[in-house]
Amino acid sequence: MKFKSLLAAVLLLSPAFAFSEESESVDWLAEIQTSPDELPANTPMVGSLLESSRGMIKTQRQWESRKREIRRRWLRYLSPAIKNRGAAPAYKVIQEDTTDGIVRQLIRYEVEPGEVVDAYLLRPIVSVDNAPGVVVFHSTVNHSIRQPAGIEGVKEKAFGLALAKQGFIAICPRNYLWPNNDIIKAQEMADRYHAKNPSSTGMSKMLYDGQVAIDILEMQPGLDKERIGVIGHSLGAKEVIYMGAFDDRVKAIVSSEGGVSTTFSNWYAPWYLGDAIRNEQFPHDHEELLGLIAPKPFLLVGGDSADGDQSWPIIHRALEVYHLYGKPAHIGLYNHRQGHAVPVEAEQRMLQWLVHYLK
């Protein structure tokens, strides 16, 4: 069965996902590009990405040159010797079950030589040709990959299972801070990583592992390699920003409550970017990464906790770059104002974003 045929049948039964086949954008795009008149006191000052030593950037061609400079600078910071991946690793199916028309497999593979990790693979039982794919990054819960696979935890965060029901092939990999699927040991695992890679950052490790997950996703029969997205909440929301910025295979991104600025949340932790970002002279913030992501569809979701109204300056600066690629610009901030959670209405918009832009 073709993906679009399956998707159309599913959407007829799901008004939350209704959209026009002819519409280039979700019908709520203008809403998520309109900031409130007043922003909170902790809102950061963010400089324009279009200002350079050569003057103001006015064209897409000029930005592409600036973009290469920003990318090189970030990769140097993340890891001076960022790893070159080989072929996708072979994986073993450890368990398999079916639920709600979905085949769910627990798989195991070596993310690096000698380092074994688990993930869940989910796909519709009915085989689909040219299906979109998605990498789903879990948040900071002990049950790790069982959350996005829909086995344990609140159903609103079971993005892998929900998207598989919409015709996607999903992979939900375990973050390196979990030595197994049942418990997080962040400091211990970060210390172990840095002992082996003293010049690297934790985000470099997360980026590498996420790229390996895409390698495995691309092996799946029926996958359309040109339609791969990423989605995550909290910890996972941080990971998807880096995946969108540094992996060209990623075509659409949803980041929920990760703290889009390095001044939000705990980016200084050793398992992320490290203490260097607390230095007032630190030359980077994540509006640069959103500039690297442009013009890919990027949805930031906040609840006035890690993200929210204080995140608007980052979005505004990124919009300047997106507009160099023409309009409409497929980026915005949806603030549900319900804290560090994924309420039902936010879940619906997050899923709709990927369904729409990867359809």
pLDDT in tens, 109-132: 999 999 999 999 999 999 888 999
Q: What is the pLDDT of residues 6-61, one digit of tens each?
A: 444 444 334 344 334 447 899 999 999 999 999 998 898 899 999 987 889 999 99
Tell me what percent of the residues of the chain surpass a pLDDT of 70.
92
d(CA 350, CA 348): 6
Q: Tell me if residue 22 falls in helix, strand or coil.
A: coil
Q: How far apart are CA 163 and CA 227, in angstroms?
A: 13
Q: Give residue 112's domain range.
A: 3-357
The C-alpha angle 218, 211, 214, rounded to 5 degrees, equals 20
Q: Omega into 328 within 30° of 0, i.e. cis?
A: yes
R_g of the chain, CA atoms, integer Å: 19
**pLDDT attached to residue 89:** 95
Question: Each residue of 287-300: pLDDT tens digit?
Answer: 999 999 999 999 99
Alpha helices, DSSP H only, in the chain?
3-12, 60-78, 159-165, 186-196, 202-218, 235-246, 287-293, 312-322, 344-357
Q: In the beta sheet, which residues pair with residue 333?
A: 300
DSSP string, 94-156: EEEEEETTEEEEEEEEEEETTEEEEEEEEEESS--BSEEEEEEE--S-TTGGGTTTTSSS-GG
pLDDT tens track for 325-353: 999 999 999 999 999 999 999 999 999 99
Predicted confidence at residue 32, as pLDDT, reads: 98
| 252 or 129: which leads in pLDDT | 252
Please report, to the nearest 10 degrees, the dihedral formed by the alpha carbons of residues 25, 30, 32, 34 taken in order: 160
Residue closest to 175 by CA, chosen among 133, 203, 217:
203
Tally the domains of the chain: 1
- What CA–CA distance (Å, rounded) separates 97 from 116? 22
Cis peptide before 295 (omega within 30 of 0): yes
The single-letter DSSP state of residue 174 is: P
CA 239 to chain centre: 6
Check: CB of residue 325 under 8 Å from CB of residue 57. no
CATH number at residue 46: 3.40.50.1820
Beta bridge partners of 96: 105
pLDDT band at 284 (very low <50, low <70, confident <90, very high): confident
156: closest CA among 350, 358, 6, 7? 350
Per the structure block, which two tokens stand in for 185? 């040991």
- What is the predicted pLDDT for the residue at 3? 52
**With contact defined as beta carbons under 8 Å apart, do 1 and 129 qualify?**
yes
Query: Please, which residues have CB within 8 angstroms of residue 205's CB and are 6 or more apart in sequence?
Result: 176, 193, 197
Residue in the block written with tokens 């929210």: 308
Would you say 255 and 297 are in contact if contact means Cβ atoms under 8 Å apart?
A: no
Cα distance between residue 163 and residue 166, in whole Å? 5
Q: Evaluate if residue 228 carries a pLDDT over 60.
A: yes
Residue 179, both tokens: 């030595």
CA–CA gap between residue 26 and residue 348 (Å, rounded)? 12
